[in-house]
Structure 1
Amino acid sequence: MSTAASQQPASIKRRYWRWLQYLGGALIIVLLLMERVGWLPLPILERLEWQAYDLKVRSTLSEQVDSSLAIIDIDERSLYEIGQWPWPRATVASLVEALFAEYDAGLLGIDVVFAEPESPLWQRHWETLSQQYPSLHDAPPPDDGDTQLANVLASFPVVLGYYFQASLQPRDPPPVGQLPMPAMVEEPSPLPFPKPKRYTANLPVLQQSALGAGFFDNPYVDSDGVFRRVPMLQRWEGELYPNLPLAMLLTLLGQPAIKPMIGEGAGVSQLEALDVGGFEIPVDARGAALVPWYGPRGHFEYISAADVLKGRLEPGALAGKTLILGATAPGLMDLRSTPVGAVYPGPEINLSLLAGMLHQSILAQPPWVFGLELVILSALGGLMVMLYPRLNAPLLIVVSGALLAIAVGGNLWAWHQGLALPIAGLLVLLTVQMLWHLAMNFLRETQQKRWVAARFGQYIPPELVESMVESGESFGLEGEERALTVLFSDVRNFTAFSETIPPSELTQVMNRLLTPLTGAIHQHNGTIDKYMGDAIMAFWGAPLHDAQHADRAINGAFAMLSALGDINREFTAEGKPALAMGIGLNTGPMSVGNMGSSFRMAYTVMGDNVNLGARLEGLTKTYGVSVIVSDATAHQAPGWCYRRLDKVTVKGRSQPLWVMEPISRWETLTESRRDWHAAFEQALGLYQAADFASAARAFRALSDQQDRPTQMYLERIEHFNANPPPSDWDGVWVHTEK
């Protein structure tokens, strides 16, 4: 076949893969754009956007503390010293009065609702008391706690708190308390502010005495339960009401009108910000502002309410400060999950928002952000679709990493400029495009990998190579530790055998010997490590993982013995002597991978457990058996019946182990063979217990007196009868030769 003819199919295949990359990349862009415009919502992408936002928040927290803001904390110590909540209204009145009269506070926002009238015991029984005590008969009853608190509220700049509720159940009571006057909003057209179903506000006597009020509920908590943005206004019966921080800002500025700022972006008009007396508050289309997080819990100054009531502060300590009264005591704390903490007090959220408005540090999401994101996704996606199919895998990863760094860097730069730009869609685009084109590159190189696999097939079974190619498993050639089973085989007296063969025939004889033995190993998914003359080293469990590696290795060993039997029949028919073979197997952790030098490498196994396998092969001569396995191999392949040959230590190892001979699979073991196995195990047990007289009788009673292990133990017993072992003898036989 000509070169052009051989190259044409490869060229067609390359074009096929290239067009597949183009189409797949374009489909990724289309699906992502459909998600962005809401045609194909993907909750996981929304969650990713939230996680990215939270990460940016935590990585850019401010170290500066505004000393003009503080929280008056109804903490655990306050409850211990003052009493359990709710406190008498007179106590709350004393607290508010102390903040202003003694400590010169500037403004107080109360993150607590006083919705129910106070009814002290003395007030309920005043008429009875006045009848019992004539001196009280004509005296007017003292002011109740609500009146005392109302008088204090009327004397100082205080903004109360209340809350709306988004749901209304059939049995819900009617709205409680009294809403404050609505905020003055210059509204050019109805805007999509939240419309609650009910509210719980303060007593009229209290609300009428305060300068204002603001809600502290949040109907815009994200579906993962995290506070990230809060509505600045909510609509009730056609009027707009501010949240608590905004109500406090309005009080500080003298109740200016709120001017909605409408922006244009991507052909859409939407609410962009609120102008409050010259203070611009960025909001989204629903009128919600991102909370400007300054730090973890405790970033702002906390002052215990008990210290205020007990007069422990220096006079004028709160001069001009803007305060929020709230609770952090267990059972009272208004806990929220936020990007800066899973447990975050509600009063500090409100103070953070107020600080953001005062410092003009609230992040903006202008209406043009949506159009910008679509343009970037389309342009960058198109660039990747055209460029990536021309890049190899390493360069593709480098380019993707560079684009990712530029995207993240640009997003962080915009963040520091006051813009909260989306990043999840861009991250998904870069990641999925990179993975798609990497996968296509991988598949496009399959032909070359198959060529390599064909060469690998000289060492491992072709069907195993096919499994490696078809599976998704990684087959790196770098060294790794893995539990494997190793096999060493050696033909007995092959040197003497080869001397009877002319040198010109020796290579042919070696091929005739090693080919069927290799086939037996491949038949049971073994990997040929190397040939050492007439010896073979093989292993199971790599490169493809195999949980049955020990069992397959034993099957392979017996298949080798069967193949040797067929070879011997051919040799004897040709007048050549028959051959014998010893096989040793061991299982355990080994280092497997490409090892060697820069000139030549080999996929092989190394380690102490490999050396032990070689030692076991050498012991087959000593014990006169064809196959010996370690106790570790026997443990991994329980389907076989094993004869325990001896408890030994081999050269180079101090730890004793049992060496065993696999006899047969349990299901094929005959009854007579089972009886023989049980008798040998009983005799061996007597020997290990140093009961040599009983052991000798048991070994002599075995029917197979030509068995080499049986004769070996009878010889040992004679030796120990003449030279008794020490009293602490553990039955271990030490082998000093390889």
Structure 2
Amino acid sequence: MASKAPIHTRKRYWHWLQYAGGLLIVMLLLVEKTGLLPFPLLERLEWQAYDMKVRSTLSEQADPSLAIIDIDERSLYEVGQWPWPRATLADLVNTLFTEYEAGLLGIDVVFAEPETSLWQQHWEELSRDYPALGELPPPVDGDEHLSNALAAHPVVLGYYFQASRQPSDPPSVGQLPRPAMVEETDPLPFPAPERYTANLPVLQQSAMSAGFFDNPRVDDDGVFRRVPMLQRWEGELYPNLPLAMLLSLLGEPPVTPVLGEGAGVTQLEALDAGGFEIPVDGRGAALVPWYGPRGHFDYISAVDVLEGRLEPGALAGKTLILGASAPGLMDLRSTPVGGVYPGPEINLSLLAGMLHQSIHAQPPWVLGFELVSLAALGILMVLLYPHLNALLLVAISSVLLATAIGGNLWAWYQGLALPIAGLLVLLVAQLLWHLAMNFLRETQQKRWVAERFGQYIPPQLVEDMVDSGESFGLEGEERELTVLFSDVRGFTAFSEAIAPAELTEVMNRLLTPLTGAIHQHRGTIDKYMGDAIMAFWGAPLHDAQHAEHALEGAFAMLGALDAVNREFIAEGKPALAMGVGLNTGPMSVGNMGSSFRMAYTVMGDNVNLGSRLEGLTKAYGVSVIVSETTAERVPNWCFRRLDKVRVKGRSAPLWILEPLGRREALGDSRREWHAAYEQALELYHAAEFDSSERAFKALTDQQDAPTQMYLERIEQFKADPPPSDWDGVWTHTEK
């Protein structure tokens, strides 16, 4: 018992180390989630998981009441380079409402500078030089033209804030619109920019409203996932373009912040705009509800509107956003649904989400829920996992992983954007940690296996067993294996010709290379029986190619014997020959014997057949004989049928075969000889002895022992024909 104490002590040590490591993983994740120790990699994993959820749940149908008036490449080609004259834009606005009966237009472009033409700049000078011009009205002011169009129709302009101002930046430009009416009791943490670029006063005063289209909440990987709904400037709150359009549709209702409790803190949860609730995070940003890849909404080329190519009333009542998708106008963004995504479609997606109430929420309780989930699940895994084997570890982790992903997707379909990366990292990290620690703890057991199996099999195979991760036991089991029997012919006479003291050395010189050939091809030595060897393939380590490896081992043994024979001949000793028999089939393998002595061995009828096949090699004058089953397991080798026989101890006949070599290694002449031999054998079994005799005599290799055997049999059968029900089977009565 004293010898077991250190083992138990080491087990306790590994268990405590396993507990400590698992607990450390949980603590690190909890600290990261509280923001005390951010892990950028975990944040990026969260972004990737969010993007995958977005892409897997895209809508196939677009809202027909929403569309984009697109300043695309074709429009630039036909109308001219950007910026277009303000008069052209005024015509575009007027056409949208008068010809096509649009409902509301948002403009995802800012007009921060006045437009001046050469006519306007030099009109007074030209009037003095050409008095006749004085009778004409001055050139139309493009800004005034556009201002008149804006005043006549429901249009929401766009502008942008700048989060930080550099010393070289100019002061703010243009006129901001009226701020949103936000019923704010205490200042909420909306973004507070330091500069803005807005529209000309003459344009802003004529428009219904305006909204910003910048996004200070772009994630660090440059992807648009959320946008702020409001930004604070000099104490007032201003809406983004989609929210400004929604407010214009609703008649400019007040915006009411909806507060909620999360982790013991009251924080912003949503914005209520005229009964439309917009879920936001604690800093007032909403997740963009992506409906599809680029082009999900209807795109209408701006030039088609200007040229009147649409059907009258084609845009009746529709809410539109005028913006650019042309690459040269720099309004393309990276999003979860596309690396090149037009800014106008981002804004239209957010507007659609508000109208359809399909923006995913991030309630304040999400952080608390995640912390509790990580802590509870992590502690459960820390306590449970050290007691599980690798299979159960993987199985339980897979179930937990599937549950976490399934639950997260279910919440997503319910409109909740819950974090998932922390749980996934917890599950994977705990699994890997405990698998590694269990492996280290189980090294002692694997050593035990190696020490015990090392008594029966080569050290190389023991190492493979340990590395394979399989579970091994000494108890008996049935398994398909390939068994090999070899016997050196004439060794009795050989040994009588040498001194008894020299016999041990000769045996070692003979069996060592033969054993090496078997080991080299992953075989297990079962036993030595004088100069005979019994070996098998496929146990204790599973080997799907056990038949092929055994066949390769048999030929390697013949090669090793040739090398030994060269040494014997040089010493004046006679050369030796060897017969090898191989059979494949179900066999019983395990540690067998008595309480006094045990051996790892194979038993069964298929083992006995392997021995019988080895005994037939001398009768047929070949070195290797295999069974049909072995040949079937090695389709890339070529075999010739030697005979259909009934061996001693078995009533059922079977074909015995001789391996000729790998198919790709056989030359054309050898293939032709093999085909002719098989044809002669077919004639023999059809009892057409005259034809068979001619076919056998026509073979080029007349020294072939099986050929000579069949010619002798044919002579016997011609003299004494077999009965009419002859089946061609030759019965062997000796072992």
Instruction: State the TM-score, normalizing by the size of structure 1.
Output: 0.69
Whether 1:512 and 2:512 are equivalent positions in the alignment is no
After superposition, residues 18-417 of structure 1 pair within 5 angstroms as 18-332=15-329, 334-417=331-414
* CA deviation after TM superposition for structure 1 residue 186, in Å: 2.0
Q: In structure 1, what is the Cα distance between the partners aligned to 2:402 and 2:662?
A: 55
CA 1:506/1:259 → structure 2, altered by over 3 Å: closer, same or farther?
A: farther
What one-letter code is carried by the residue in structure 2 that aligns with 1:238?
G
What one-letter code is carried by the residue in structure 1 that aligns with 2:336?
P
Q: How far does the alpha carbon of each residue in 1:149-202 deviate from its partner, in whole angstroms, 9 at most, with x for none?
A: 011111111111111122322222222222212222222222222222222211
8 A contact 1:651–1:736 mirrored in 2: no
After superposition, residues 551-566 of structure 1 pair within 5 angstroms as none
What one-letter code is carried by the residue in structure 1 that aligns with 2:79?
I
Structure-1 residue corresponding to 2:449: 452
Secondary structure of 2:68's counterpart equals strand
Q: How far does the alpha carbon of each residue in 1:313-359 deviate from its partner, in whole angstroms, 9 at most, with x for none?
A: 22222111111001112312511111111111110000010111111
Q: How far does the alpha carbon of each residue in 1:35-69 deviate from its partner, in whole angstroms, 9 at most, with x for none?
A: 11122221111111111111111111122321111
8 A contact 2:182–2:237 mirrored in 1: yes
What one-letter code is carried by the residue in structure 2 that aligns with 1:379?
A
Q: In structure 2, what is the Cα distance between the partners aligned to 1:510 and 1:407?
A: 68
8 A contact 1:459–1:527 mirrored in 2: no
Secondary structure of 1:280's counterpart equals strand
Q: In structure 1, what is the Cα distance between the partners aligned to 2:503 and 2:298?
A: 91
Q: In structure 2, what is the Cα distance between the partners aligned to 1:370 and 1:598?
A: 60
Secondary structure of 1:312's counterpart equals coil
Secondary structure of 2:49's counterpart equals helix
Whether 1:442 and 2:431 are equivalent positions in the alignment is no
After superposition, residues 652-691 of structure 1 pair within 5 angstroms as 655=665
Q: How far does the alpha carbon of each residue in 1:618-673 deviate from its partner, in whole angstroms, 9 at most, with x for none?
A: 99xxxxxxxxxxxxxxxxxxxxxxxxxxxxxx86556589xxxxxxxxxxxxxxxx
Structure-1 residue corresponding to 2:673: none
8 A contact 2:491–2:576 mirrored in 1: no
Secondary structure of 2:156's counterpart equals strand
CA 1:535/1:160 → structure 2, altered by over 3 Å: closer, same or farther?
A: same
* CA deviation after TM superposition for structure 1 residue 253, in Å: 1.6
8 A contact 1:651–1:737 mirrored in 2: no
Q: How far does the alpha carbon of each residue in 1:377-422 deviate from its partner, in whole angstroms, 9 at most, with x for none?
A: 1111122222222322222222222222221221112111111111
What one-letter code is carried by the residue in structure 2 that aligns with 1:135?
A
Secondary structure of 1:351's counterpart equals helix
Structure-2 residue corresponding to 1:729: none
Secondary structure of 2:328's counterpart equals coil
Answer with 268-277 or 524-533: which moved more. Answer: 524-533
CA 1:325/1:441 → structure 2, altered by over 3 Å: closer, same or farther?
A: same
Answer with 341-350 or 496-505: which moved more. Answer: 496-505
Secondary structure of 1:214's counterpart equals strand
CA 1:654/1:252 → structure 2, altered by over 3 Å: closer, same or farther?
A: closer
CA 1:366/1:528 → structure 2, altered by over 3 Å: closer, same or farther?
A: same
* CA deviation after TM superposition for structure 1 residue 441, in Å: 2.5
What one-letter code is carried by the residue in structure 2 that aligns with 1:167?
S
CA 1:582/1:185 → structure 2, altered by over 3 Å: closer, same or farther?
A: farther
8 A contact 1:521–1:527 mirrored in 2: no
* CA deviation after TM superposition for structure 1 residue 233, in Å: 1.1
* CA deviation after TM superposition for structure 1 residue 578, in Å: 5.4
* CA deviation after TM superposition for structure 1 residue 235, in Å: 1.7
Answer with 172-181 or 495-504: which moved more. Answer: 495-504
CA 1:476/1:165 → structure 2, altered by over 3 Å: closer, same or farther?
A: farther
What one-letter code is carried by the residue in structure 2 that aligns with 1:329?
A
| Structure 2 unaligned spans of 5+ | 473-483, 543-552, 579-583, 591-599, 602-621, 624-659, 668-702, 707-735
Whether 1:599 and 2:588 are equivalent positions in the alignment is yes
* CA deviation after TM superposition for structure 1 residue 12, in Å: 3.9
8 A contact 1:92–1:149 mirrored in 2: yes
8 A contact 1:284–1:366 mirrored in 2: yes
Q: Identity rate of aligned residues, in percent?
A: 67
Q: How far does the alpha carbon of each residue in 1:215-244 deviate from its partner, in whole angstroms, 9 at most, with x for none?
A: 111111111111100011112222221111
Secondary structure of 2:333's counterpart equals strand
CA 1:150/1:656 → structure 2, altered by over 3 Å: closer, same or farther?
A: same
After superposition, residues 524-603 of structure 1 pair within 5 angstroms as 533=531, 597=586, 599-600=588-589
What one-letter code is carried by the residue in structure 2 that aligns with 1:260?
P
What one-letter code is carried by the residue in structure 1 that aligns with 2:508?
R
Secondary structure of 1:85's counterpart equals coil
What one-letter code is carried by the residue in structure 1 that aligns with 2:189?
P
8 A contact 2:461–2:522 mirrored in 1: no
Structure-2 residue corresponding to 1:663: none
* CA deviation after TM superposition for structure 1 residue 129, in Å: 3.0
Q: In structure 2, what is the Cα distance between the partners aligned to 1:452 and 1:503?
A: 42
* CA deviation after TM superposition for structure 1 residue 463, in Å: 8.2
8 A contact 1:35–1:42 mirrored in 2: yes
Q: In structure 2, what is the Cα distance between the partners aligned to 1:135 and 1:424?
A: 77
Number of aligned residue pairs: give it.
580
CA 1:504/1:17 → structure 2, altered by over 3 Å: closer, same or farther?
A: farther
Instruction: State the TM-score, normalizing by the size of structure 2.
Output: 0.69
| Structure 1 unaligned spans of 5+ | 478-487, 544-552, 584-594, 604-617, 620-649, 658-734
Answer with 525-534 or 9-18: which moved more. Answer: 525-534
Q: In structure 2, what is the Cα distance between the partners aligned to 1:147 and 1:581?
A: 114
* CA deviation after TM superposition for structure 1 residue 537, in Å: 10
After superposition, residues 636-655 of structure 1 pair within 5 angstroms as 655=665
Secondary structure of 2:89's counterpart equals helix
What one-letter code is carried by the residue in structure 1 that aligns with 2:57?
T
Q: In structure 1, what is the Cα distance between the partners aligned to 2:249 and 2:363?
A: 27
What one-letter code is carried by the residue in structure 1 that aligns with 2:408?
N
8 A contact 1:258–1:275 mirrored in 2: yes
After superposition, residues 459-478 of structure 1 pair within 5 angstroms as 462=459
Q: In structure 2, what is the Cα distance between the partners aligned to 1:275 and 1:159?
A: 20
After superposition, residues 700-715 of structure 1 pair within 5 angstroms as none
Q: How far does the alpha carbon of each residue in 1:649-708 deviate from its partner, in whole angstroms, 9 at most, with x for none?
A: x86556589xxxxxxxxxxxxxxxxxxxxxxxxxxxxxxxxxxxxxxxxxxxxxxxxxxx
Q: In structure 1, what is the Cα distance between the partners aligned to 2:406 and 2:664?
A: 60
Structure-1 residue corresponding to 2:491: 495
8 A contact 2:211–2:242 mirrored in 1: yes
